[in-house]
């Protein structure tokens, strides 16, 4: 009986603490930011911009995301803006460094 009364107190506390992050938590913590480069940029300039983002010297989110340099940032793709012809580097920015567990 004593164990049961302790469980009644402990179980709600454990439930309130939450558990491992869900797949939805990972999706909400992921965002995309872009960086535009001149249409005349060459491959070396594009690579330098990607390196600068990876090294934390350049913020692809232009200050819109707090602590962006402590997050996982990866290049997703490079597009061309149809109007300006600028190169647009699209980065994925996420708060977690591991893959979500499947439930």
Query: Would you call 91 exposed, middle or buried from its count of C-beta atoms within 10 A (0-12, 13-18, 19+)?
Result: buried
Q: Would you kindly state where each structural domain of the chain is located, as residue ranges?
A: 29-94
Report the alpha-carbon distance of residue 79 to residue 85 in Å, rounded: 9
Q: Which are the contacts of 74, defined by CB distance < 8 A and separation ≥ 6? A: 91, 92
Helices (H), the chain: 2-17, 23-28, 43-54
Per-residue pLDDT of the chain (103 residues; tens, 9 = 90+): 554 444 444 444 444 444 444 444 444 578 999 999 999 999 999 999 999 999 989 999 998 888 877 889 999 999 999 999 999 999 999 885 555 555 5
Entry pTM = 0.63
């Amino acid at each position: 009986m004593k164990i049961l009364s302790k469980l009644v107190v402990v179980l709600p506390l454990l439930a309130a603490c939450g558990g491992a992050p869900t797949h939805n938590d990972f999706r909400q913590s992921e965002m995309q930011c872009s960086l535009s480069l001149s249409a005349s940029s060459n491959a070396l300039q594009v690579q330098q911009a990607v390196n600068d983002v990876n090294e934390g010297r350049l913020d692809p989110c232009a200050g819109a995301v707090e602590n962006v340099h402590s997050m996982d940032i990866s290049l997703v793709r490079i597009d061309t803006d149809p109007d300006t012809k600028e190169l647009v580097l699209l980065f994925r920015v996420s708060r977690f460094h591991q893959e979500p567990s499947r439930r």
